[in-house]
Amino acid sequence: MSTVKSKKLQVGTDATSTNNFTIYQPASPDGTLRIGVGNADSPTEVAQFNANGYKPQQPVAFSALFSTDQSFSINSWTKIQYNTEDFDTNSNYDNSTNYRFTPTVAGYYQVNANIRINFSGSAGDGTYLALYKNGSAWNVTSRINVTSLWGSLSLSSLVYLNGSTDYIEMYGFTNHSSPFFDHNGSVPSRLSAILISQG
């Protein structure tokens, strides 16, 4: 009986490398077997196996909360600055500059968001929360009529992101006077997303 010792085994010899697969061990062995798309010299990992069988890749997910009040102008769509991360498994959410999620894995993402909007002036009848994709509205809540001096809005949406240039942000709008996004420390508002299917 013979043993072939090799860290990489290419399956397929197609001229287009992405039509081939490579079975390999990482440069520093860690008890896993990797499956990659591409030739043996530069495969792109798509799966792992260990002693327990298939090992799913780490999920792409993040959650960020809104931790400081943010004033904004009446009758103007304004980006909400969810500025404190609970977690960000793939470092894809910018919580300090653009306040946007730009995932590096293509697929379908479940997005959930909520925000509390307060008004130091009189109540009005036009308040919204919107999910923006690449700078344009993708999904918008129904208008809520607020009779008190605050309103809480929630939004859930499924959106495809291409893993390179696509990004999402959250925006709010109201026609109430002197509005601000309220961080409401006891029950903080959050924005989160998770990859539910690659594609």
Whole-number Å distance between alpha carbons of 116 and 112? 14
What are the residue boundaries of the structural domains of the chain, listed by start? 8-55, 61-198
Average pLDDT over residues 9-38: 90
Does the pLDDT of residue 45 top 90, yes or no? no
Say what the pTM is: 0.76
Of 46-50, 53-57, 64-68, 108-112, minimum mean pLDDT range: 53-57
Q: With contact defined as beta carbons under 8 Å apart, do 127 and 143 qualify?
A: yes
Q: Would you say domain 61-198 falls under CATH 2.60.120.40?
A: yes
The encoded tokens of residue 61 equal 């997910």
Q: What is the pLDDT of residues 64-80, one digit of tens each?
A: 999 899 988 888 899 99
Question: What pLDDT shows up at residue 164?
Answer: 94
Average pLDDT over residues 147-167: 89
pLDDT tier, 185 (very low <50, low <70, confident <90, very high otherwise): low
